[in-house]
Amino acid sequence: MATAYISTPLGSAKLEGDENGLNTVTVLEQDEPESKIIPDVLIDAAYQLNEYFEGKRQNFDLLLNPEGTEFQKKVWSLLSEIPYGKTLSYLELSRRLGDVKAIRAVASANGKNPLWIIIPCHRVIGSDGSLTGYAGGLHRKKWLLNHESPSRQQSLF
């Protein structure tokens, strides 16, 4: 498994993957030095993430290989369908999965998303429009949603 560290406006991000695809993108609580050499299997991911933060990319075109249960992968697939600049509630995500009673399981799968930003779990909010738990911290979720907002001069939250 190849590893690289990149700098983002939200802190250091750790990228891991191999020839089968990108396995994880994690935001770190402590900064790491940016990798001087990015392994070949991670170059596209690093490049596309940088474009995202520069406001030049709204969709990712990468080979993904996250590890998780079949249920988690179904949830992550649904998360990937949430358009840039849009949000969806946990309840609506459960509905799309076909079981509104699975809301807690959906929230749990969302929290275990191994591909920060690439699979946009930050776009899931509470039914009342509130910011709810985010593995990377609510301050990062707020930043990401504002970054993707069509009118960036105003804060969504």
Q: How many helices (H) and strands (E) does the chain have?
A: 5, 5
Degrees, nearest 5: CA angle 99-117-140: 100
C-beta separation of 6 from 25 below 8 A: no
Annotated catalytic residue within 121, 124, 125, 145: 121
Residue 98 neighbours by CB distance under 10 Å: 8
Q: What span, in angstroms and rounded, lies between the C-alpha atoms of 127 and 64?
A: 29
In the residue annotation, 73 being an active-site residue is answered as no
Taking a C-beta distance cutoff of 8 angstroms, is the pair 93, 45 a contact?
no
Active site residues: 121
